[in-house]
Structures are given as C-alpha cells and as structure tokens.
Structure 1
C-alpha cells in the first residue's frame, strides 16, 4: 500500500479530505494528518510517506516551505499534491518548480478530481520506488531534534534543567520561540464514557488526534505549545502578549478555553476539564505554573478551575521535587542502582510525613511523567507495570493517603528497575547511534561534547563513557574523523578549494583544518587532492 499524509490548518477540510475517497480502492493508506508545516515535516520523518496532500497556506511553515525542506532533506519522496483556496500563478509556478505532482484549487475539488490526482501520484510513486533508492527519512532538526521536543517540555515543566544555559541551548536547537510577556499552563484532562471504554491502543490514537486539534484550535486565539503527558492528560502552554496576573487570567483565556472544549466535545464526544496554573513572566519559571495547575486538577471537579480556587498555601518546589534530578538522570541513563536509591529516599521522606499529601502526589506524578517521556518506549513500559490494575498507571489519581501513594510509587520503581536492567545495553547502544546520527547530520557545525551532551540530556562524563565503551574512541576523536572523512568526500566530488571545505565543516581556518587533516591522514589536504587526481588520471582510458 502507498502511504499518504494529509495536511491542512482547517479541521473541517481535513475531515472532508479523509472522507472524500475510499482510499483503499486507490491502493492508499492514510498514515496521519497535520495542521501546520512544521508538524507535517515531523510526520514525514516519522511515517516516511510516499505522497503528501497539503494546503499551501498553513501556520508556522507553508505547504511550499514544507515541500522545499522535504526535497532538500529527503529527496524526491514524498511526492506532493498542493491545495489552495484560489488560483494563483505564482503559487502554481513555485509548486511546479518543486516538482509537485499536481496543484488543485479547493473550490473546484471533487472526488473525481482528487481521485485522478491521487492515482497519478500513486503510479509515479510505484514506478520510482522500483527504480530509485530513497534517502533516509532523518531530519537534522527533528530526526536529530524532533524526538527531543516532548523531552524538552517535560524537563521544563518539572524544573529538570541543570541551569538556564542548558535550557536556552535546547530551546534554540529546537527552534522554539515561545514569545510572550506572560506564560501559563492549562492542564487538560480527557473524560467521558468514550475515554473510559477505549483500549490503550485506541486511546493513544485518540489522544494524538486531540493533541493536534487542540493545537490547531488554541492557536487561533493565542500562541501556544501542546504537550501530551499521558493518554488522558495534556498541557496547553499558553504564551500571552501582555503581562497578566492571576486575577486577569479568566479574561485572557476564557474564549480559548471555551472554544477548545466545544470543538473537542463536538468532534470526539470527549469532555475536557481544565486546571489553570499561575502566570509567570519567564518561561524558565513555568514549573511554578505547572505545579499549581496539576494540583488544581487533582483537587477540583470544575470544568475550568483557576488558581484562586486553591485554598492552601503554594507548595515548595524543593520539597515536591526532592531527588528529581537524580531520578531523571537515572531514568535517562538506565541506572537502576541510582533509581532505587533515589526512590527509597523519596519514600522515606513520604513515610516521615515531610511532604504534604499534595506534595507527595506531585512527586509521584513527576516520576511518572519522567518515565513516560524519558524512556524510549515509556508508554509501553508503564502500561506493562500496571497491567493488573483496572485503571492502569492512572490509579495514582485514586490514591487517598500517603500509604496509597507510597505503594503505587514502590510498584512503579520496581517495574522500572526490572525493565531498565533488561535493556540497559541495547538502550545505551541506541543512544550512541542517535548521537552518531546527529553528528553526521550536523557535520558542518562546531560540535562540542558539552553542547551535544546537553542537547541529549546527559552529563559530559556519561556521554564520553558511552563513546569510549561502544565506539572504541572518544567523542572528540569520533567527530574529528567524521569531519575528515566528509572532507575527503568533498575533495573527490566537488571543486571546492581547501579553505572552502574547511569553512563548510566548521573549522576555524584552513591552517587548523590542514593540521588536523595531516594528523589523521598522514598527509596534507593538498597532497591528498593531488594524489586523488593522479590516481583518477591513471584509471582514465
């Protein structure tokens, strides 16, 4: 079957496109939908489609922008069919320059027109799939970067960054602007009979669809990021243009909250309840808003709960997230000894009642969200640990006292340790492969151990140890050899001068490049080029 993705910023258009054809009759399977150009690029990397049907005008990046980036990164595939609201020669010309298969005007779109265009694309895809190798779907951005998107926000919401410098580095790598004078967390909980009766696979699919529609709808009212925490909990992180206070939150958010709740209820027969955190002016402090919102979500049954409904003093983040850094690090590094020690200490603090019930609940939820997000297959692992519970891992929300929370957390810790121990070596090798991929995709940059380890969320010592153990060389040596290897390829395949190659590979100057090259290869770049040319002439008939 040919894989196809639909992209449009109008939910109704997407629904219409999905239902316009019996896709299986055209040998096509729909593997996803996107609401903006950036999301489309992410889905192209994730699903590796053969065909994309996309609107031209979309938020964040247009369909044309997505097609251009896709062509640069992935080559001929996926094939693009462009949609627009009106005929515009400049759009059509640019679409054709990007080798789009077709250019369709929405107002003239019928099932027959769409079917003809899709059939043409399917025929091209099948023919070229048989005759041409496809480039790897890996993006220096979200193939190297996009998998870090959810991890970034989990760290941010739970105050897990070591310092502001690490936060800024990852934010810039992800290209996250997060503009605004105020920022606030809206903690969404999915409910209703439909949610309660779905199996995990169906619920996960529903969650993914709701996250996208939440993003699409909320973005019409304000700048925002939408982050799934688990299958029934989603955060809408709102970025507001003006400074606001707790007292003015209702006015600033009411329309967005009302519209998103209505859209989700109408489309999916699912209820949304919101808990709103305190506003902050600095994104680095957003954990304060998250803590408040999460506490409200556990304490209130209102459709929308604002922070002035909290009838107790604000928690101490230090108390709530005691041992958080050690727990996060042990989960990321699959260090079962450190995880057991940290959880044991946390349980002791709970047993001694050094944390209030709300603080203990927050700490347990923090460990849950870290495990769900920081482990490569976190959702599957957590589902397995709590498979005997009717409510799964969400049984944490039914805890009535400290003892219930401690029992739940002990169960989680034991399951995590068992799973981590069984896959430690495979996971560490995967980490090294991911870092190697990132290095090769960013070979033109100056790559330091500190920068890359911070981006991946590891300590420098840990990443250095992994390279030495699984690659047999240091991180710096690997990067150096990768750059020199690329330089040799450029000398053979291009007419670039030595200084140009040095500049393209991130060396400070051609003198330093020549010094490094000679150290690795035993001869200077000039001698290497001359030798290559000489060998080529000898083999020329």
Structure 2
C-alpha cells in the first residue's frame, strides 16, 4: 500500500480529504495527519509516507519549510501535493519549484481534481522508485570510473606509496583528514528478488545502491563504492568527537538508512564492519577484517563489528590479494598479458594444491572480479562479454559449490582478459603518453612532477616514465621543459613580460633556474632571446607542442 500523510492546521480540511475519495481502491493508506510542519516531520521519520498533501500556510512550520527540510533530509521522496488559497499563488509557484507534484486551490477542491493529482503522484512515485538514476547528480563518466578505481586500489592496498595515494585523493577532491577510518563490506537483499528476472534484479540492486549513496552520507561522513551487482563497500570517516562511541554512531546511521530502504524499496542491507584505523592507508586492513567476519552477519543481524568480537580462532575464509600487488598493478595498468598469466597461474596453482580451501578460493575469485570490473576501461561490459554464454553471466561465480568449479571460472575469466590485453596493449600505451602530454599542456603553469601527472592518469610514476622513454622522442622532464619554454617565448615576445614574471607564472622556483632551463632548451639565455626578438620586431607567435 502507498502511504499518504495529510498536513493541515484546519481539522475540517483533514476530515474532508479523508472522506473525499475511496483511498483503499487507489491502493493508498492514510497513515496519519498533522497540523503543522514540525509535527509532520516527526511523523515522516516514523511512518515514511510516499505522498504528502500539505497546506502551505501553517503555524510553527509552514508547507514550504516542510518541503525544504524533507528534500534536505530524504531527497526526492516523499512526493508533495500542496493546498493553497487564491491569494497564495506566489507560494504555489515556489512549491512547484521545489518539485511539488501539483497544487490544489482549497475552495475549488473536488473529488475529480484531487483524484487526478493523486494519480499523477502515483505515476511519478512509480517512476522514481523504478529509476536507477534516482537522485544521482550527473557526474562525468571518466570521473566516476576514476573514483571507483581509486577506492578499489585503496581497499586492496594497491597504492605504491602514500604520496601516490595523497596525490590521487587530492586530484579527485577526496578528503581523508578524519580522526579515524573504518571499512565495511555490505550486501543488498530483497524479499522479492527471487521472483524477478535478471533485468529487474539489476534495476533493483542498482536503485538500492544509489539510494544508499544518497541517504547514508546524510547521517555519517562516508565513501561508498560498488564491488559487484549486490555487494558494496563503505569507508566511514570518524570525527574526533565520535571515536569513543563510533559503534553506536555507525549503527544509528545505517539503521536510519535501512528504514528508508525498507519503507520505499522493500530492500535491506547487512554486512560487517572492520577495525578502527587512524591511517587511511590501513583501510585495506579494516576491509579485510570486514570480509573475514561477513559470514557472521545476516538480515537478522544487519551489522557485525570486528572490534566487538572475541576471535580466539580467526576465521580464515579470505584471500589477501595484495600479496600479488606488484603483478596485479602492472598487469592491469599496462595491459600486460604475461603478468596477468603469472597472477592467475599462481592463484590457480595454490588452490589446486589445497582444494579444501573453498571459501578462500571464492574470495580470491571475487577479488579478481572486483579488480577487473573497476580497474579496466568498460570493465563491467568486458567481463560480462567474457561470460555471455553463462545463464547468470559472471555472477554464476556465487552459485558455485566446489573449488574446482571456481578454478574453471577463473580460467574462463583469464582467457577472456588475456585475449583483450593482447589486443589492447600497444594502443593503450600510446594513448597514455598522449594523455600525459595533453595534461602537461593544460597545466604548464604548475610545477609539474612525474608523480603528479601519473596520479592524474591513475598509473604509477615508474610506468609513466618508462612509457615516455619508449613512445616519445624525449623523456618526461624534457617534454615538460619544452612546453614551458615554448610558452615562455610567447609571453616574452607577445606579452612583454619580465623574466622573473615569466618564471613565476610558469611555476619555476626562481628566475635563475628558469634561465638555466631556457638556455638548455633554446641555446641562449631568456634575456638574449627577448632582446633579439623585441629588437627585430619579429613578434613570434609560439605555442606549446601539440604532440
């Protein structure tokens, strides 16, 4: 049943709306009434109505304030139909700007126009709930994929250094200045998923995750990233004043989110929470804890905390994928089929020797799956294509019952990735160099370093340096200097800027170092170059290299 809340300070209006329609016939239950916005907010938190009919002018808190508070706290739902008087059309316009479904004039309220507004709201409610894009602000695809890649690397301890982590976080505008961090491993479930077809399940899981991403950050500062269709990770950022009671803080935040998910989507989430860590680079250890105890959670026990368990005999059901850190990073960064073979062969050999380690094998395969989806361009599409002949696609992994079946699944994935890596390797390397050069040309006023540019591209500094030497006619530093000096010549001849001004503008430490670099590139000092071209009136127009 759809829940409807009536908010008006006139009891007769409340009674009139209740009696005007056969609400049950419309599939609607009137779950409550309130006489002002403040009381309505309390009821909304308890009852989670889908639709609200509200007056605009009320004591304590009016209808517009109520709508604004609900948008701020809950997002697109609940939907609003507003009641107004003839003289309040300016308020009605403002309500419509806040996405009110409709406005009704009290003195013209009839069964027909009320029913028409309600039917419009029901139709919109259905669209909102079904839409997997519900409440998501548009984000450039490249930025979104880079975010996902960053968090997968963080959760699996794949960063080469703290500097690489900090630079990428800075470029993505991700804040890691909390007093502490905790990672969680979560699963989405629903009572009716067993009766859904594959497309409906995809929409259900996607919509639920998007709603989690919308709701949970309203209660607690966190980052959320998808792992596969029904699993996701949460990184909680704990402030100083919540360290002593972070368990209650997380429980309350997740509980509020779960209530909304259940009320509006019929969905639930459950999972496990790792240890508290102070260094963000230790988040991977917290995530490993969470995965280790995940089997102890369930819909009936929605959150299980590592720090509250007495693990005298640790549950050895996870696989530490970071032991293959260097080979994994190289394989996925460089599209290196030989490195890929090394990783897969090592994992498969390990579990052939220990076939009883089923849970560890499943965890290893899951990690490889998450990495493939997140670290590769169009990873989801690529992996789905590899398993296109399987009834449940790559998700068939989670239906397997033996270690041997998991090894066969890994072999299918390896063969598909190996073929893809072989075809993409050379073109991808050339594209990385071109992208690096474009980044340099777009940021020549900065003091560019190899680490910064590599971080901007999401690759390791050593690999970028290697590619520059192999696929460019000069090294990284030489190219940066060429771009800066080309721009320096333009600034001196066209803008008549002083040498120290040019040096400062282009990110050099001082004019002396700028002059040294200039002479190395051009064969003369910037003073001599400027004097020559100013005197001759050459007026050279130069621009950074284009390749």
| TM-score, L = length of structure 2 | 0.65
Matches within 5 A, 1:25-104: none
1:506-529 CA distances to partner (integer Å, 9 max, x unpaired)?
212112212322332344334444
**Which residue of the other structure, out of 94, 98, 107, is the alignment partner of 1:108?**
94
1:153 Cα deviation after fit = 1.3
Change (3 A) 1:397 1:253: same
Separation in 1 of the partners of 2:160 and 2:346? 21
SS in 1 for 2:323: coil
Question: Secondary structure in 2 aligned to 1:322?
Answer: helix
* Alpha-carbon distance between aligned partners in 2 of 1:196 and 1:509, rounded to the nearest angstrom: 69
Instruction: Give the stretch that moved more between structures: 176-185 or 188-197.
Output: 188-197
Residue 224 (str. 1) matches residue 222 (str. 2): yes
* Structure-2 residue corresponding to 1:272: 269
Checking the alignment, whether the CA contact within 8 Å between 1:183 and 1:281 is kept in structure 2 is yes
Residues 371, 143 of structure 1: alpha-carbon distance in 2 compared, 3 angstrom cutoff: closer
Match of 1:353 in 2: 354
* CA distance in structure 1 between the aligned counterparts of 2:263 and 2:433, rounded to whole angstroms: 45
Count of aligned pairs between the two proteins: 417
SS at the partner of 1:230?
coil
Contact 1:244 1:279 in 2 (8 A): no
The verdict on how the C-alpha distance between 1:205 and 1:534 changes in structure 2, with shifts beyond 3 A counting, is: farther
**CA apart distance, 1:344:** 0.4
Equivalent in the alignment of 1:514 = 515
Tell whether the 8 Å contact from 1:229 to 1:235 is kept in structure 2 after alignment.
yes
Mapped to 2, the partners of 1:377 and 1:172 lie a distance apart of 24
| 8 Å CA contact 2:494, 2:539 repeated in 1 | no
Counterparts in 2 of 1:317 and 1:388: CA distance versus 1, 3 Å:
closer
Contact 2:146-2:458 within 8 A present in 1 as well: no
Tell me what 1:159 maps to.
157
| Contact persistence 1:215–1:224 (CA under 8 A) | no
The Cα offsets for residues 106-135 of structure 1, whole Å up to 9 and x where unpaired, read as 972537999xxxxxxxxxxxxxxxxxxxxx
Corresponding residue of 1:191:
189
Q: For residue 376 of structure 1, report the CA deviation from its aligned partner.
A: 1.4
1:281 alignment partner in structure 2: 278
Superposition deviation, residue 368 in structure 1: 1.4
**Structure 1 SS opposite 2:432:** helix
> Is the CA contact 1:464–1:475 (under 8 Å) kept in the aligned structure 2?
yes
In structure 2, the gaps of 5 or more residues are: 1-49, 52-68, 74-89, 101-138, 542-547
Residues 316, 110 of structure 1: alpha-carbon distance in 2 compared, 3 angstrom cutoff: closer
**Which residue of structure 2 aligns with residue 255 of structure 1?**
252
Structure 2 matches for 1:300-339, cutoff 5 A? 300-303=297-300, 304-307=302-305, 313-315=314-316, 319=320, 321-339=322-340
- Give CA deviations for 1:204-235 in whole Å, capped at 9, x if unaligned: 77766655542332222221111122232222
- Cα deviation per residue 1:250-297 (whole Å; 9 max; x = unaligned)? 523222111222323444443323332233232211112212323444
Counterparts of 1:157 and 1:259 in 2: how far apart (Å)? 25
Point out where structure 1 has 5 or more consecutive residues left out of the alignment: 1-14, 17-54, 60-103, 115-140
Larger radius of gyration: 2
The equivalent residue for 1:150 is 148
Distance 2:357 2:201 in 1: 32
> Does the CA-based 8 Å contact 1:227-1:236 persist in structure 2?
yes
Q: Distance in 1 between matches of 2:189 and 2:423?
A: 35
Compared with structure 1, are the counterparts of its residues 447 and 58 closer, same or farther at alpha carbon in structure 2 (3 Å cutoff)? farther
Instruction: Say what the alpha-carbon RMSD is for the aligned residues.
Output: 4.1
* Equivalent position SS for 2:236: strand
Q: Give the CA deviation at 1:334.
A: 0.4
Equivalent position of 1:390 in the other structure: 391
**Which deviations, in whole Å up to 9, do the C-alpha atoms of 1:136-174 show, x marking residues without a partner?**
xxxxx9999775322221111011123334333333443
Structure-2 change in CA distance of 1:532 and 1:187 (3 Å): farther
SS at structure 2 position matched to 1:180:
coil
What secondary structure, in the 3-state scheme, does the structure 2 residue paired with 1:323 have?
helix
- Which of 288, 291, 300 is equivalent to 1:291? 288
**Aligned equivalent of 2:104:** none
Query: Is 1:433 matched up with 2:434?
Result: yes
Residues in 2 aligned to 1:359 and 1:212: alpha-carbon distance in whole angstroms: 30
User: C-alpha offsets along residues 4-30 of structure 1, whole Å, 9 cap, x if unaligned?
Assistant: xxxxxxxxxxx99xxxxxxxxxxxxxx
Contact 1:349/1:355 (<8 A) preserved:
no
- Tell whether the 8 Å contact from 1:194 to 1:269 is kept in structure 2 after alignment: no
- Change in CA separation of 1:525 and 1:337 when aligned onto 2, cut-off 3 Å: same
TM-score computed with the length of structure 1 as normaliser: 0.66
